[in-house]
Structure 1
């Protein structure tokens, strides 16, 4: 039986990923704040991941925040604060990087293994035409760099590894409740699409950034 580790398993997309994978017969380990797993606490991340047995076919970081201490994303430069940027980076960049630290030990070397993290299209520098949302954009752009760099290192020891960033689309969760949009995906739809994208990727696509339709997103 295949094994998967889902970080952020109690969130909208994370819970849907757990349900979809279990429906497919995958042995799923889910970690979230509900289990005491806090991405902003490095000793907690290190301790809980160090206790896991290797051999996960999939590690998926489905955690993320749109705002930290602010009520809404910044619309102008004058709204930038150190506190908001630090809060965003702690969850959206540093947290996933701390999980990626364990990928070499937790992913198999003798077969295909996948590490994926939820990024966002607004983290794309090349696709940014609207501006604003400084902290969120910057934290996701930094995450993309972490994923790309980690993929290069993993490829040296894990020849069949796939390490990618994913844009899930706009998903109807608490995360996006205050933002409009008539074409929001349900968490279940997003989970199925994202897993479908991952199924179609091989080592030649490692280190890249894809959306929920399987299309490449520019950096």
Structure 2
């Protein structure tokens, strides 16, 4: 087959949401299912009741742990057996805190195991996802591959320090996705690859850190998803490889 680009124009729009069990990922699933022409695949580490309640003819749920390449490969193979193309891929998986794992406030809090876990989930998993997705984005229709990053990943914007593992792993994510975009210009020329800062959203991820967030800057999941979908709708091929905020502005690297 080589690098042949296939036509997907005769198929319905097909989306994949990675990390769809709760929070922003679940919000994306709900919004995408509201479009009657959309077929949605959703991955999860363990199925939440909220996601299971949405399952139906237009939603297929698949298990995937993004730290396990075999699971990534198996999930993508299942999708590939059922559809020739994906038109929208949104990766919402990310780690900020988990029990004893908390953002480091200073150098004395660093340890190799915690840093490795940040990078495995926030950086390495997404680029392995890109590796396996490539054949499904190699078609003649417009395609989007978006991954949630964070403004804290911006080196130029870092004035406060701290949060070493989260910041650095999301910065590595931005570099990985920018590099994927460069390769996709040759192999998947209709695919637009971006990273997105969703803003502070009222989810489990941000819950311990919402105390100093002004109410007008703490977004509901519905508002975040609506804003990010509006950004994605406006993207052009020249935007591929970019790092965008929830309001559509470009963020400094």
Q: So what's the TM-score if we normalise by structure 2?
A: 0.83
Asked if 1:105 is matched to 2:135, the reply is yes
Instruction: Tell me what 2:31 maps to.
Output: 20
- The equivalent position to 1:43 in structure 2, one of 66, 70, 76, is 70
Compare 133-142 and 71-80 and name the one that shifted more. Answer: 71-80
5 Å matches for 1:64-75? 64-68=94-98, 70-75=100-105
Instruction: Tell me what 2:159 maps to.
Output: 129
* Count of aligned pairs: 219
Contact 2:138 2:189 in 1 (8 A): no
In structure 2, stretches of 5+ residues that fail to align are 1-11, 47-61
Larger Rg: 2
5 Å matches for 1:154-169? 154-169=184-199
5 Å matches for 1:44-83? 44-53=71-80, 54-68=84-98, 70-83=100-113
Compare 40-49 and 122-131 and name the one that shifted more. Answer: 40-49
Residue 142 of structure 1 aligns to a residue in which SS? helix
Instruction: Tell me what 1:92 maps to.
Output: 122
1:154-182 Cα shifts (integer Å, max 9, x gaps) = 01122221000000000000111111212
Asked if 1:146 is matched to 2:176, the reply is yes
- What RMSD in Å do the two structures reach over aligned CA positions? 1.2
Q: So what's the TM-score if we normalise by structure 1?
A: 0.96
